[in-house]
């Protein structure tokens, strides 16, 4: 097999799940508070990947309009059965709960989904036994209510997917080796055995993958003698926090999440949790996981001219809690993208913001923006309390860095009319204590250069990653062009 890309899906792509159908691999990842939700990627060779669509393109599919940042779409599982794709996910903080979406084509359109009542937890898996009975296996972690934070291990229940109900009481399954947070279960059959693979140890530095096997989809399951079969805990290396893995129908490729930390102590991961892959060999009925390939980021160049009426058709655009079409218009101001301000800018929980994932550690985002009728700019968002912006208001440009309750700003004057705003990230020479350097630039003036450690997943305590794009904080803002270049780091 040719060397796998590393990362397989760079940038904010956590909790991957994969399926192989008619020689094509498909992968989906979590999206939390962003819409569209649940991106679908496809590949014929595991090397070249295409973002072919998103499962949730309509607000009613997820019901996350008022969901807090960090909640929403957690850890889906993608499967194929009886000629249809199935995606199961528990939408936290939403009345939708545990939902199963289906589609004939992974690129969509996907249906509105069926809620399965009676499942309380996260990270659901969907599998069918030899008789066609459907089972949901999940991590019984309580997210909301008076018992929030309580963990009841891995559970499983037979379900009626058409009626949206459980058939009996959930039962306990093997829940790992005793490490904290048993989660991300996946059940599959290989040969004579059924396997239950889970993550444990937490999604931070103690993350690990463990596996058990048994005679039936319901178990009983016995843990592998070499558990955990994968972890970076206690080992040096450029990829850490590895876990939350999936195997494609018991295949020889494992898809998983990990981070690429920077700094002398390898303590800060600017891009958050990304999707990686490695190979698996089988010995005596147990998987042996190969070391992850060293990171080899591929350069990328993206140019969006908003005079093009198809500029927003690319499935990689993201907005917070709303579809991009509800945030920005290509028809209101011919030839330009138009946004209407929401007070607070990126401080708002639902900002007028349209962005894209930062996918390389070295990157440049550029926007040609006119704020003569309002205020807005270019921002890099982890959430409403961790972000950086460079904002135009008339002939004044202000760069702002926000870290929780702390905020600092720098200002400069620019000529009236359209202004070029840039956010650059640069990987420093090895040996520094921080992470990358973030530069906030207007025209040819660098207003601020910042230590990126404060906008990393470890500091922001966010499950997402950096998303950079244009926003409006007041009045009307228009944008003629948006570009992203990244790599090779």
Question: C-alpha distances in angstroms, 166 versus 82, 102, 120, 281, 319?
Answer: 20, 18, 11, 36, 34
Q: Is 332 designated active site? A: no
The rounded distance, in Å, linking the Cα atoms of 141 and 252 is 30
Question: C-alpha distances in angstroms, 274 versus 21, 77, 85, 392?
Answer: 23, 16, 23, 32
Please tell me the total number of residues recorded for the chain in this structure.
489
The rounded distance, in Å, linking the Cα atoms of 38 and 239 is 24
Structure tokens given for 229: 């079969």
Closest CA to 134 of 163, 103, 111, 157: 157
The rounded distance, in Å, linking the Cα atoms of 277 and 280 is 10
Q: Chain-centre distance of CA 210, in angstroms?
A: 22
Please pick, among 183, 274, 384, 451, the residue that the annotation labels catalytic: 183
With tokens 């016995």, the residue in question is 222
Residue 88: how many other CB atoms lie within 10 Å: 29
The rounded distance, in Å, linking the Cα atoms of 449 and 432 is 15
DSSP, collapsed to helix, strand or coil, labels residue 20 as strand
Structure tokens given for 405: 């309750």
The rounded distance, in Å, linking the Cα atoms of 167 and 433 is 54
DSSP string, 267-308: -B-TT--EEEEEEEEEETTEEEEPPPPPP-PPPEEEEEETTS
Q: Is 183 designated active site? A: yes
| DSSP state at residue 59 | H
Q: Chain-centre distance of CA 26, in angstroms?
A: 15
**What are the catalytic residues?**
15, 183
């Amino acid at each position: 097999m040719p060397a796998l890309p590393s990362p397989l899906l760079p940038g904010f792509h956590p909790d991957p799940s994969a399926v192989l159908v008619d020689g094509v691999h498909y992968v989906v990842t979590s999206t939390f508070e962003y819409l569209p939700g649940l991106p679908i990627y496809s590949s014929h060779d595991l090397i070249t990947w295409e973002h072919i669509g998103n499962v949730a393109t309509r607000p009613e599919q997820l019901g996350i309009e008022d969901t807090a940042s960090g909640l929403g779409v957690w850890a889906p599982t993608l499967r194929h059965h009886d000629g249809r794709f199935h995606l199961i996910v528990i939408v936290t903080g939403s009345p939708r709960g545990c939902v199963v979406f289906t589609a004939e084509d992974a690129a969509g359109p996907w249906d509105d989904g069926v809620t399965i009542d009676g499942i309380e937890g996260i990270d659901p898996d969907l599998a069918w036994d030899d008789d066609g009975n459907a089972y949901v296996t999940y991590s019984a972690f309580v997210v909301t209510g008076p018992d929030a934070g309580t963990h009841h291990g891995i559970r499983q229940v037979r379900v009626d997917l058409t009626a949206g109900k459980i058939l009996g009481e959930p039962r306990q399954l093997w829940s790992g080796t005793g490490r904290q947070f048993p989660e991300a279960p996946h059940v599959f059959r290989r040969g004579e055995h059924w396997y239950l693979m889970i993550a444990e140890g937490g999604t931070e530095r103690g993350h690990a993958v463990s596996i058990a096997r048994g005679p039936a989809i319901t178990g009983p399951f016995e843990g592998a003698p070499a558990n955990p079969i994968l972890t970076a805990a206690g080992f040096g290396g450029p990829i850490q926090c590895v876990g939350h893995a999936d195997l494609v129908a018991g295949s020889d490729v494992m898809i998983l999440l990990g981070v690429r930390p920077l700094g002398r102590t390898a303590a800060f991961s600017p891009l958050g949790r990304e999707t990686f892959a490695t190979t698996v060999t089988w010995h005596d009925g147990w998987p042996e996981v190969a070391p992850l390939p060293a990171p080899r980021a591929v350069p990328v160049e993206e140019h969006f001219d908003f005079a093009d009426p198809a500029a927003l058709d690319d499935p990689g655009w993201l907005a917070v809690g709303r579809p991009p079409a509800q945030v920005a218009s290509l028809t209101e101001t011919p030839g330009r993208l138009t946004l209407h301000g929401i007070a607070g800018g990126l401080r708002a929980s639902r900002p007028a913001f349209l962005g894209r994932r930062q996918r390389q550690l070295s990157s440049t985002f550029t926007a040609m923006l006119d704020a003569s009728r309002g205020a807005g700019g270019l921002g890099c968002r982890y959430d409403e309390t961790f972000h950086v912006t460079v904002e135009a208001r008339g002939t004044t440009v202000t760069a702002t860095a926000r870290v929780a309750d702390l905020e600092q700003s720098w200002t400069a004057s620019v000529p009236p009319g359209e202004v070029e705003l840039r956010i650059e990230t640069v990987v420093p020479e090895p040996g520094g204590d921080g992470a990358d350097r973030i530069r906030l630039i207007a025209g040819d003036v660098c207003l601020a250069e910042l230590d990126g450690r404060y906008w990393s997943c470890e500091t922001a305590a966010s499950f997402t990653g950096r998303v950079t794009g244009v926003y409006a904080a007041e009045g009307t803002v228009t944008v003629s062009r948006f570009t992203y270049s990244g790599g090779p780091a």
